[in-house]
A and B are shown apart, each in its own frame.
Chain A
Amino acid sequence: MIQTIGMYMQFPFVRYALAVGTMIALCASLLGVTLVLKRFSFIGDGLSHVAFGAMAVAGVLRISSSMLFVLPVTVLCAVLLLRTGGNGKVKGDAAVAMLSVGALAVGYLLLNLFSTSTNLSGDVCSTLFGSTSILTLSKVEVWLCAVLSVIVVVLFVAFYNRIFAVTFDEPFARAVGTRVEAYNLLIAVVVAVIIVLAMNLVGSLLISALIIFPALSAMRLFRSFRGVTLCSAALSVTCALAGMLVAIVGGTPVGSTIVAANIAVYFLLCIIDHFILIST
Chain B
Amino acid sequence: MSMIACRDLSLGYDSDPILEHLCFEVNAGDYLCIVGENGSGKSTLMRTVLGLQRPLGGEITFGEGVKPGEIGYLPQQTAIQRDFPATVWEVALSGCQARLGRRAFYSRSEKALAAANLARMGMGAMGGRCYRELSGGQQQRVLLARVLCAAERLLLLDEPVAGLDPGVTQELYDLIGKLNREDVTIVMISHDIAAAMRYATHILHIGSQLFFGAADEYRQSAIGRRFLATEGGEST
Q: When the two chains form the complex, which single residue of B69, B90, B105 contacts A176, counting CB atoms closer than 8 Å?
A: B69
Instruction: Kindly list chain B residues whose C-beta atoms are within 8 Å of the C-beta of A162.
Output: 97, 100
Are A164 and B90 closer than 8 Å at their CB atoms? Answer: yes
Are B75 and A171 closer than 8 Å at their CB atoms? Answer: yes
A89 at the B interface (CB under 8 A): no
Are A165 and B94 closer than 8 Å at their CB atoms? Answer: yes
Query: Closest chain B residue to A218 by CB distance?
Result: B85
B133 at the A interface (CB under 8 A): yes
Contact string against B for A residues 17-55, beta-carbon threshold 8 Å, 1 for contact and 0 otherwise: 000000000000000000001110000000000000000
Number of contacting residues on A, CB 8 A? 30
Are A223 and B85 closer than 8 Å at their CB atoms? Answer: yes
A112 at the B interface (CB under 8 A): no
Q: With A and B bound together, what is the CA distance between A162 and B99 in angstroms? A: 11
Q: When the two chains form the complex, which single residue of B74, B75, B86, B129 contacts A164, counting CB atoms closer than 8 Å?
A: B86
Instruction: Kindly list chain B residues whose C-beta atoms are within 8 Å of the C-beta of A224.
Output: 85-87, 90, 130
Q: Which of B37-65 contact A (CB under 8 A)?
A: 47, 50-52
Are A176 and B97 closer than 8 Å at their CB atoms? Answer: yes
Are B78 and A169 closer than 8 Å at their CB atoms? Answer: yes
Q: How far is the CB of A140 from the nearest CB of chain B, in Å?
A: 31
Are B50 and A39 closer than 8 Å at their CB atoms? Answer: no
Instruction: Kindly list chain B residues whose C-beta atoms are within 8 Å of the C-beta of A223.
Output: 85, 87, 129-130, 132-133
B91 at the A interface (CB under 8 A): yes
Q: How far is the CB of A184 from the nearest CB of chain B, in Å?
A: 14
Q: With A and B bound together, what is the CA distance between A37 and B78 in angstroms? A: 12
Instruction: Kindly list chain A residues whose C-beta atoms are within 8 Å of the C-beta of B50.
Output: 174-175
Are B97 and A178 closer than 8 Å at their CB atoms? Answer: yes
Q: With A and B bound together, what is the CA distance between A73 and B165 in angstroms? A: 52
Q: When the two chains form the complex, which single residue of B51, B75, B87, B106 contacts A172, counting CB atoms closer than 8 Å?
A: B75
Q: How far is the CB of B27 from the nearest CB of chain A, in Å?
A: 21
Q: Which 6 A-B pairs have the closest CB atoms?
A: A177-B69, A223-B130, A175-B73, A171-B75, A176-B98, A224-B87
Partner-A contacts on B (CB < 8 A): 47, 50-52, 68-75, 78, 80-81, 84-87, 90-91, 93-95, 97-98, 100, 104-106, 129-130, 132-133, 146-147, 150-151, 156
* 10 additional contacts (CB under 8 A) given A171-B47, A172-B73, A176-B73: A157-B104, A161-B93, A161-B97, A172-B150, A176-B70, A176-B150, A177-B70, A219-B85, A224-B85, A224-B87
* 14 pairs, CB–CB < 8 Å, chain A vs chain B: A161-B94, A164-B86, A168-B86, A172-B75, A172-B150, A175-B52, A175-B72, A177-B68, A177-B70, A178-B98, A222-B85, A224-B87, A225-B84, A225-B87
